[in-house]
Structure 1
Amino acid sequence: MEYTNLGTTGLEVSRLCLGCMNFGTGQPWMIHDREQSRAVIDRALELGITFFDTANVYSRGESEAILGDALAAADRDRSELVVATKVFGPMHEGPNGRGLSRKHVLDQAEASLERLGTDYIDLYQIHRWDDETPIEETLSALDSLVEAGDVRYVGASTMPAWKFMKALSAADVDNYERFVSMQCEYNLVDRHEEANVLPLCADQGIGVIPWSPLAGGFLTGKYERDGGHDSGRAATDEFMQKRFTEENWTVLERVREIAAARDATPAQVSLAWLLHTDIVDAPIVGPRTIDHLEDDAGALEIDLSESDRERLEAPITPAWNPEIGDV
């Protein structure tokens, strides 16, 4: 495993981050067997992965609890591990059940700490932008968590660049803890963030940890133009259908050709492209099996030339759709 610093911080993270959204019973396609989830986490640790990302809303806390139990059982040095979670989504019906108010942020941080079984969260992230709460209120709450020692760093996820810059500016003006990282959808066929938040991250020294690095499985090569596929997630849902474009199929063809030439898998080539991208610190992989995890880890061994990268990137011209930042 390779390691890098998150943005311009001194925090060292593994080049692959294990995403834990699949752990729990919130959706039929998730891993309902906790022992299977624990096995994936254990293997990640064996491979040298020290960076783990979850969220309170993933299966309404189940994912956090599964991760916390697995890390406790593994008995690893806590100082080597980087545990990240998120806040924003609905956790209960009724008032104050969601959002980024001071009340919800502080209540959910306490609940996440308990489920994770840890004394502190390394990276606490706002899952989305909250239009109902002043950003200064959210920043103040996050700042107090850092002051109390419950949180080490704060990060953000999925928003238009102008909103993210608004948050960074407010933190600078009011001397609040500054966001150090951005989670955004980024992969070979979803490159809209190149026209949105990624230039800002580069300018401001923000660490980038892309989610959906394999485009929901599209870049693994399991989908075909003729409609054939092998997936636990329906290929007819909107999340996947938006990817079935001529440009994306062309990218996938080139991924397959480069993979075949290197005796690699399409997933490894796709992840290697991200790992060769200067702005990216650690793609968030979400394997459901140990075999998938080991395949993902093989991306670290793939060396792409500049001509390979240009060939993979050529079919798509990145463009920003403002609606994307508000999903």
Structure 2
Amino acid sequence: MEFRRLGASGLKVPVLSFGAGTFAGKGPLFGAWGNTDADEARRLLDICLEAGLNLFDTADVYSDGASEEVLGEAIRGRRDKVLISTKTALPMGEGPNDAGSSRARLVKATEDALRRLGTDYIDLLQLHAFDAGTPVEEVLATLDALVRAGKVRYVGVSNFAGWQLMKSLALAERHGWPRYVAHQAYYSLVGRDYEWDLMPLAQDQGVGALVWSPLGWGRLTGKIRRGAPVPAGSRLNETADFGPPVPEERLYRVVDALDEIAAETGRTVPQIALNWLIARPTVASVIIGARNEAQLRDNLGAVGWHLTAEQMAKLDAASRVTPPYPHFPYHRQEGFARLNPPMV
């Protein structure tokens, strides 16, 4: 397993990490993801650790805290062998302080997460969404206090717009507060919006990408084909409305390219899609999920080899879309390209 520094920090993380959204699945969204119990979670963690994967990601909102509880059971007795990432900010109740990133909410949410996880520190605490109702200074000062108290070691964000992340980084620098070192963002062969603003920002500011839903909300599992219905058992049947939309023709164009490369390499479609992501700029770790051992072992097979330049180019071409202004590809014009060469 390859390890990379998480952004501009000294923390090294594996290029594949494990998402615990399938743990203790409850409700219409997480219930469709999976319902892994503590015993099965321990078995999945065993497999991950044997492969060198030691970063496990969860969130308080996953099954109303039950995912953190199951993960806490699975890491019991081996806390020193794992890195734990969790997220907070999304609503956990109907009360006025049950959502957001206020000082009151962040302190309580951190204490609750520590209790559910059965640990006294969180390796990486991420804000699950930007809270427009709380001053950024209040958020950062609270995170600074949590770091100084030893309850949190590194901080990051998830699903931020570029200006929201940059404003936070600038204020952290001005006041000497901890800077965000990670941005957990959606990125896949059928969802490349991350490349327009967030990737150049991450490169410039030293923010590592933790990629969620790298298989395009289940679309790149190898089970979806042109002209065929979505297979029974696919989470797309129940959760498609929750995830990022993808035009059908773009999806099938990408799947066709993946199928061609699978035939050339003997690798599976998910392995190829994950390997492509691992090679992209600013990506620190790609978060994989699995309902069972077979899925996990297949995903772990995405490391230890490389796509050729020609195969990468084929996937790039199949998945490319024209970005909106001001990201329209002016690099086709020599003057614009000299001033601002594209990253990918």
**Secondary structure in 2 matching 1:85:** strand
2:113 aligns with 112
Q: Distance in 2 between matches of 1:162 and 1:240?
A: 23
Structure 1 distance, partners of 2:324, 2:210, is 19
Q: 1:40 aligns with which of 32, 40, 44?
A: 44
Task: Describe the superposition over 1:68-102 as per-residue Cα deviations: whole angstroms up to 9, x where unpaired.
Answer: 11011xx3361x42110011011122120111000
- Kindly state the Cα deviation for residue 308 of structure 1 after the two structures are TM-superposed: 1.1
Residue type matched to 1:69 in 2? E
State the shift of 1:156 in Å: 0.5
Q: Structure 2: how far apart are the matches of 1:301 and 1:178?
A: 32
Match of 1:277 in 2: 280
Name the % identity.
39
The match for 1:297 is: 300
For 1:240 and 1:170, the matched residues in 2 are separated by 32
User: Quick one: structure 1 residues 251 and 33, their matched pair in 2 at CA, closer, same or farther if it must change by over 3 Å?
Assistant: closer
SS in structure 2 of the partner of residue 178 of structure 1:
coil
CA contact (8 A) 1:269 1:302 kept: no
Greater shift, 240-249 or 253-262, is seen at 240-249
Deviation of 1:173 after TM superposition, in Å, equals: 1.3
Q: Residues 5, 16 of structure 1: CA spacing in aligned structure 2 closer, same or farther, 3 A cutoff?
A: same
Structure 1 pair 318/210, CA: closer, same or farther in 2 (3 Å)?
farther
Whether contact under 8 Å (1:140, 1:176) holds in the other structure is yes
Matches within 5 A, 1:1-327: 1-27=1-27, 28-34=31-37, 35-72=39-76, 75-76=77-78, 78=80, 80-230=81-231, 231-235=233-237, 237-239=240-242, 242-315=245-318, 316-317=320-321, 319=323
Three-state SS of the structure 2 residue aligned to 1:125 is strand
Matched to 2:249, the amino acid is E
Q: How has the CA–CA distance of structure 1 residues 211 and 33 changed in structure 2, closer, same or farther, with 3 Å as cutoff?
A: closer
Q: Retained in 1: the 8 A contact 2:221–2:270? A: yes
Alpha-carbon shift at residue 208 of structure 1 (Å)? 0.8
Question: For structure 1, which segment, 278-287 or 121-130, has the greater mean C-alpha deviation from structure 2 after superposition?
Answer: 278-287
Q: Does the Cα contact within 8 Å between 1:192 and 1:318 map onto a contact in 2?
A: no
Do the aligned partners of residues 260 and 302 (structure 1) sit closer, same or farther apart at CA in structure 2, a change above 3 Å counting? farther
The count of aligned residue pairs is: 318
Does the C-alpha gap of structure 1 residues 187 and 320 become closer, same or farther in structure 2, counting only changes over 3 Å? Answer: farther
Aligned residue for 2:214, secondary structure, equals coil
AA of the residue aligned to 1:308? Q
The alignment partner of 2:154 has SS state of: strand
Residues 220 and 234 (structure 1 numbering): CA distance in 2 closer, same or farther, change over 3 Å? closer
Q: Distance in 2 between matches of 1:295 and 1:89?
A: 31
- Report the 3-state secondary structure (helix = DSSP H, G, I; strand = E; otherwise coil) of the residue aligned with 2:220: helix
What amino acid is aligned across from residue 317 of structure 1 in structure 2?
Answer: V
1:324 is aligned to none
1-structure distance, mates of 2:184, 2:266:
31
Would you say the 8 A contact 1:251–1:313 is kept in 2? no
Q: 1:38, 1:62 → 2: CA distance?
A: 15
Q: What code does the residue aligned with 1:257 have?
A: E
C-alpha distance in structure 2 between counterparts of 1:318 and 1:42, whole Å: 43
**Gaps (5+ residues) in structure 1?**
322-327
Offset at residue 41 of structure 1 (A): 2.3
Q: Which moved more, 1:304-313 or 1:39-48?
A: 39-48
Unaligned runs of 5+ in 2: 326-344
CA distance in 1, matches of 2:165, 2:133: 16
CA RMSD of the aligned region, Å? 1.7
1:325 counterpart residue number: none
Q: Which amino acid aligns with 1:270?
A: A
Query: For 1:56 and 1:77, how far apart are their aligned partners in 2?
Result: 19
Cα distance in structure 2, aligned partners of 1:40 and 1:202: 33
TM-score, normalised relative to structure 1: 0.93
TM-score calculated relative to the size of structure 2: 0.88
Q: Residue 233 of structure 1 aligns to which amino acid in structure 2?
A: R
Shift of 1:239: 4.4
Contact 1:196 1:320 in 2 (8 A): no
Report deviation, 1:145: 0.2
Q: Is the 8 A contact 1:120 1:151 kept in 2?
A: yes
